Structure 1
Amino acid sequence: MSDSDPRARLAALRDLIHFHNHRYYVLDDPQIEDAAYDALYRELVTLEAAHPELADPNSPTRRVGGAVLPSFDSKAHGLRMYSLDNAMSETEWQDFLTRAANKLDREDVAFERTFWVDPKFDGLALEILYEKGVYAGALTRGDGVRGEDVTENVRTVRNVPLDLRPHARQAGLPVPELLEVRGEVVMTRQAFFELNERQREQGGKIFANPRNAAAGSVRQLDSRISASRPLTFFAYGLGRQDWGEAASPWTTHSGVMAGLRSLGLPVASEGRMVEAEGVYPYFQALGLRRQELPFEIDGVVAKVDSLPLQEALGFTDRAPRFALALKFPAHEAETVLRQIDVQVGRTGVLTPVALLEPVSLAGVTVARATLHNEDEIKAKDLREGDTVVVRRAGDVIPEVVKVVLEKRPADAAAFEFPHTCPACGSPAVRDEGAAAWRCVNLACPAMLRRGIAYFVSKAGLDIEGLGQKWVETLIAKGMVKTPADLFSLTEAELLFLDRMAAKSASNFVAAVEAARQKATLQKLIAALGIRQVGTRTARTLADHFRDLDALAAATAEELTALPDIGPEVAASIREFFDNEANRQLVARFKDLGLWPVSEPKPIASAAPLAGKRFLFTGALPDMTREAAQALVEAAGGRIVSSVSKKLDYLVAGTDPGSKLAKAQALGVTVLTPEEFSSLLAESVPAPTRKSLLDI
């Protein structure tokens, strides 16, 4: 196709990228290498910039978000989005069946007791509109009659198809004139934890659970923020449908779900058809393995499979008579909020923590829960002495849900969030638009303790035998004020410390020296504790900059040109190196000989594991996950984040997760830790293995 035909080339590129997005984000089965995809995407960006008159609102490039809206418009749903009635026991499920049977009996209609069951997602309900097969808008559920118009935000959700027509052609389906797809937008647990970590580092809003994170990410007036959030959509049903001259191709709900999948829409793989007697066993079985799922669910939805029967059963004022939500019991309990303790993190963020009367939740004793920030305390009106409801969010993280107001003590006073640092008394600031207060004193002892403890931890330089207590002792004695001071300590100085014998002092100095000798640039960058820079980002930086001087001199533009480094991460890096105290720290490292140099690591196409895709699950007995990943990359392999047919090896350690079963089902080669070590011995030179095993 020649350059003289930009319209045709643009159409071809958009179709091709939509196809590969579907393979990657929906089917988890990519067809091309990342580099080839990037080349197509760059060509599309360049061609669209050269021909703005050929802009398309549903181009893959529009998934980055656009202009900031002043507010959301409210729009009416074509058909009401009903809520579901709930069942909390098998008896209530049987009652539902009886009501349905009685209703159909009165209508003289036979009850076909076949149901479609699938997970009840704990996210934000959406309705997505397609006109003539093309994405045309999205509404939240709202009150069921009207919802908020989140068209631009949902456009950025990666696994939402923007054009159904190619999928319809491939499946042999007609293209509907109008199709309203209903479903839920969610955030996986892993994405939720990573988002909260970034928010915490930036002093931004901390989300209480994945549902709040998903809902808050969709309901952003700036769609660019939505685009930056790792959201996933699952379709579970339909609103209106219009097939023009043709009749609807579906007469069952199971047919609808298969059809939606054929049209390129993501559907939960756990959904299936069962007889009425199998619904509750399905509910129980899914409840037992809900923690293996990557996303939060709070129950199971059962729908009568026959669409004519659904129509015959109809609706009550609030819910369909043909569907029921079977809810898992909540892991909640009441306890007393004894104290709100405000702690200072290594970046200076002031984080309130609830100290609770110990209470048992799901077999775990809970005595503490994070309160995230001042806004959450105010929103929930939490006061010391209150009786509160505590829940293990996602059955993992303790969360204070609400106050039991009728049990509030008469003398319970509103909590005043400190505007000075509780550790050093310096002023605390709250930047505009931020949710967190932050200590501004770089010499704050709490920041020093946590920062130096992080520097010597396994996430940093991993100095053997130097734990939190020794760090606190050295700081309290004035012997260490920055991480660099550790490398100038002598045995004679250490002998003045209590419980420090000559042998211990010698071991201490030897451990620090060993850390200096084996330090890599990646580990040193990670140890600095730069906000939003973890192990993998540190590895990216070490691969592109020779030493800390080169990194410190990099511009924001140079940083954002690197893989996986966006404007926020680049700003954090620049903020760190623009600080005079940090520049002095780097200079001191150089003077002390803590100055690892990174050599470029070209990986030839003939490397032993060139292009092989690896994924890890479970714990490895002889090395950290980071070391294993580095060894794979040193041999030319690639680390991927999910199981697909394209995965070459899944390395399964102890306590593997659900990835193992999925890999086995797809026929992926599964390696034991011993087999993985043997493969590395054949693929990675011994000196390289030795250096990378220290990561």
Structure 2
Amino acid sequence: MTQDREQARRRVIELRREIEHHNYRYYVLDDPEISDARYDALMRELLQLEKQYPELVTPDSPTRRVGGQPREGFVTVRHRVPMLSLANAFDEGELRDFDRRVRAALPGETVEYVVELKIDGLAVSLRYENGLFVTGATRGDGETGEDITANLITVRAVPLRLQREIPVLEVRGEVYMSKEAFLRLNEAREEAGEPLFANPRNAAAGSLRQLDPSVTASRQLSIFLYGIGEAAGITFQTHFQTLSVLRELGFPVNRHHRLFNHMDDVVQYCRRWQQERFDLPYAIDGLVIKVNSLEQQDRLGATMKSPRWAIAYKFPAEQARTRVVDIILRVGRTGVLTPTAILEPVRLAGTTVSRATLHNEDIIRERDIRVGDRVIVQKAGDIIPEVVASLPEERTGEEKPFAMPARCPECGAAVNRPPGEAAARCTNMACPARLREGLIHFASRNAMDITGLGPAVIGQLLRAGLVADPADLYTLRHDDLARLERLGDKSARNLLQALEKSKANPLHRLIFALGIRHVGERAARLLAEHFGTMDGLSRATYDELVTIPEIGPRIAESVVTFFAQDENRRVLEKLAAAGVNMGRREAAPEGEKPLAGKVFVLTGTLEHYTRQQAQEIIQRLGGRVSSSVSKKTDYVVVGEDPGGKYDKALALGVPILREEDFRRLVGEVK
């Protein structure tokens, strides 16, 4: 073995251990030690070494998470221990009936219950042999499921090697998609004219059943483990102990499970989460109650379909009645016409709802939704307001059916709906609405974050003929802005300052702001980290792009197409000439990080930031954001409608920061 190859072998082993360690810190302990950029750098180094020395690739290498070649179809896997479904309880009375049945079957015995959040995702099994992940499957019919090993490997929270070797361990869990990732995915699909996912559960299931694992890798899935199927070389006495051991072995386990010895406490816990679930970053549709003792579970047994020792408490679907005042059309950046129902305001799932996206003409027809209709609305996955059904029996005869116009409501150009597609599009590339939406996206918080440049101001700039592309924003003068309606001298100065400040944004924000089709925030970060400069990205080939972890063929093709257009290159040249940052900015030295070592928790809705923006600010200044409050938390940043994290912070005496306090702390205001 040559010295170079031996050095590479040692470095590969070291990198794998380091990456596994950081996966454990991030997904299991919720206590990351390094930045995303540093983690990605480790992955890139490992990928390069394995590409140079392919004989060093092993089945448990983290690089397998990128996604391999598309498959022709799924094969079936038989579960050694059946994956039973759970019986449901829909009210407190049914929970108490369950408790009576359990105690009647175990007369005179002490019974404890473990209560866990019921994650709204896709049930899967993961099989490990001698500590290595070998097979993953869907639940299927409980006896057999589909082999989705290649897709589960791409889920970074799934450990490829356990913290210690166990001869055989098959674990069960729920793969899910966070609310934020779900919204981003649907936004991208809507812009592309693709069918939308109804809720995070459907999005997770659809992502896991892709024949191309690289598509799954791009979807930002995660997982919580909650039980054991087959096991050899390890034993457990209680379910509560099982969850603790799973976490020690490297599995993500939801931290909100609790142990109770009385059904009254179980019921109270269910009531609590029925209200607090909206504050979670992922969707839950209930709680699961299990007898704690595994020996008692064995004696209670199971029916043909479900265990007698467990039950799922399902939250009632929160719906409301209201009226459709109007149906309007929004023309997006890619020309897609999206109908939106304007509703009489109604309180639903913790917020006031006054509009609901109707997605496309087909959905309006299928649900027979008319202007003036009384309708039932709910929030899909507790996130997106949707019209579930119209109430034709309550019609007065004044209601008006909706029809997609033949001409764009913004520019009058022809509207085209290609065969086989759900979306209708404006055919005019120069449509003012497309330009307006593109500028709104460019200035948005997650993009260039230009405070004061909202839809109303952008509309005025377009009507005055002051901008024709994003680069023109940086040529605006004080006199141009001050004469706009309701802007004035002070607002004009503030907007010019915001524009100047945005020039220093990191490269990934500019890439996202450009609105390249299929390139979301995550992909923009990956591209910025990989290429470092806009010039480097603009010269990238398709083959080079698809080698980047999580960048699939669709994104690669879109990036190449974008930079091949002369008009786009011209805009980039204008942006560079205006002084907009075209290269990755160096991180601030350690001495310039005033929040170094501080732990923050965010809760509620912030006025000036999205959660991600606030998190980026904290991380840039050296701090860390956690998802849960503990005695180690330094600050809890509180927005509107805070949830249980706020109450816990008060109980623990953790300092509370209102948004203005937070802005002063990070230097945004004085």
Q: What range is the shorter-chain TM-score in?
A: 0.7 to 0.9
Change (3 A) 1:96 1:272: same
Which moves more between the two structures, 316-325 or 613-622? 613-622
Alpha carbon RMSD of aligned pairs, Å?
5.1
Change (3 A) 1:43 1:134: same
Change (3 A) 1:505 1:237: closer
Name 2:334's counterpart in structure 1.
347
Look up the SS of the partner of 2:157 in the other structure.
Answer: coil
Name 2:85's counterpart in structure 1.
83
Larger Rg: 1 or 2? 1
Amino acid across the alignment from 1:286 = W
Deviations, residues 309-365 of structure 1 (Å, cap 9, x unaligned):
222222233322211112222102456667654421233222232455765534755
Q: Measure, in 2, the Cα distance between the counterparts of 1:598 and 1:53.
A: 38
Q: State the 1:453 CA deviation.
A: 5.0
Name 1:93's counterpart in structure 2.
95
Q: State the 1:491 CA deviation.
A: 6.9
Change (3 A) 1:200 1:639: farther
Change (3 A) 1:296 1:622: closer
- Which residue, out of 67, 75, 83, partners 1:65? 67
Change (3 A) 1:604 1:671: same
Change (3 A) 1:342 1:29: same
Change (3 A) 1:352 1:612: same
Deviations, residues 594-615 of structure 1 (Å, cap 9, x unaligned):
5546798545645332893565
Q: Measure, in 1, the Cα distance between the counterparts of 2:91 and 2:148.
A: 36
Name 1:116's counterpart in structure 2.
114
Q: Measure, in 2, the Cα distance between the counterparts of 1:116 and 1:365.
A: 35
Amino acid across the alignment from 1:617 = L
With the length of structure 1 as denominator, give the TM-score of the two structures.
0.76
Q: State the 1:384 CA deviation.
A: 3.7
Look up the SS of the partner of 2:591 in the other structure.
Answer: coil
Name 2:433's counterpart in structure 1.
446
1:265 aligns with 2:251: yes
Deviations, residues 445-497 of structure 1 (Å, cap 9, x unaligned):
32234345556777657475x764565466567776556777679979998x9
Which moves more between the two structures, 337-346 or 324-333? 337-346
Name 1:225's counterpart in structure 2.
215
Contact 1:604/1:610 (<8 A) preserved? no
Look up the SS of the partner of 2:164 in the other structure.
Answer: helix
Look up the SS of the partner of 1:180 in the other structure.
Answer: strand
Q: State the 1:200 CA deviation.
A: 3.6
- Which residue, out of 220, 224, 237, partners 2:227? 237
Deviations, residues 357-390 of structure 1 (Å, cap 9, x unaligned):
7655347554532133467567x55554787642
Contact 1:382/1:415 (<8 A) preserved? no
- Which residue, out of 601, 607, 618, partners 2:591? 607
Q: State the 1:538 CA deviation.
A: 9.1
Contact 2:369/2:389 (<8 A) preserved? no
Look up the SS of the partner of 2:312 in the other structure.
Answer: strand
Change (3 A) 1:10 1:595: closer
Change (3 A) 1:649 1:504: closer
Q: State the 1:302 CA deviation.
A: 0.9
Which moves more between the two structures, 41-50 or 616-625? 616-625
Look up the SS of the partner of 1:70 in the other structure.
Answer: coil
Amino acid across the alignment from 2:27 = Y
1:617 aligns with 2:593: no
Q: Measure, in 2, the Cα distance between the counterparts of 1:382 and 1:88.
A: 30
Q: Measure, in 2, the Cα distance between the counterparts of 1:653 and 1:111.
A: 45
Name 1:167's counterpart in structure 2.
164
Deviations, residues 252-288 of structure 1 (Å, cap 9, x unaligned):
2222222222322222111122113321112122223
Contact 2:30/2:626 (<8 A) preserved? no
Q: Measure, in 1, the Cα distance between the counterparts of 2:545 and 2:129.
A: 37
Q: Measure, in 1, the Cα distance between the counterparts of 2:539 and 2:654.
A: 41
How many matched pairs? Answer: 656
Name 1:138's counterpart in structure 2.
136
Contact 1:29/1:644 (<8 A) preserved? no
Contact 1:628/1:693 (<8 A) preserved? no
Runs of 5+ unmatched residues, structure 2: none
Change (3 A) 1:153 1:407: farther
Look up the SS of the partner of 1:167 in the other structure.
Answer: coil
Contact 1:522/1:539 (<8 A) preserved? no
Amino acid across the alignment from 2:148 = V
Q: State the 1:227 CA deviation.
A: 1.3
With the length of structure 2 as denominator, give the TM-score of the two structures.
0.78
Which moves more between the two structures, 531-540 or 514-523? 531-540
Change (3 A) 1:233 1:434: farther
1:187 aligns with 2:172: no
Q: Measure, in 2, the Cα distance between the counterparts of 1:551 and 1:228.
A: 22
Look up the SS of the partner of 1:232 in the other structure.
Answer: strand
Deviations, residues 199-236 of structure 1 (Å, cap 9, x unaligned):
34444443222112211111111111111222121122
Q: State the 1:47 CA deviation.
A: 4.0
Q: Measure, in 1, the Cα distance between the counterparts of 2:616 and 2:257.
A: 37
Look up the SS of the partner of 1:607 in the other structure.
Answer: helix
Q: State the 1:579 CA deviation.
A: 3.9
Amino acid across the alignment from 1:45 = L
Which moves more between the two structures, 203-212 or 223-232? 203-212
Look up the SS of the partner of 1:442 in the other structure.
Answer: coil
Deviations, residues 32-58 of structure 1 (Å, cap 9, x unaligned):
666765565445434433443454333
Look up the SS of the partner of 2:505 in the other structure.
Answer: helix
Identity of aligned residues (%): 40
Q: State the 1:118 CA deviation.
A: 0.9
- Which residue, out of 268, 276, 282, partners 1:281? 268
- Which residue, out of 20, 23, 31, partners 1:21? 23
Q: Measure, in 1, the Cα distance between the counterparts of 2:604 and 2:21.
A: 35
Q: Measure, in 2, the Cα distance between the counterparts of 1:664 and 1:493.
A: 45
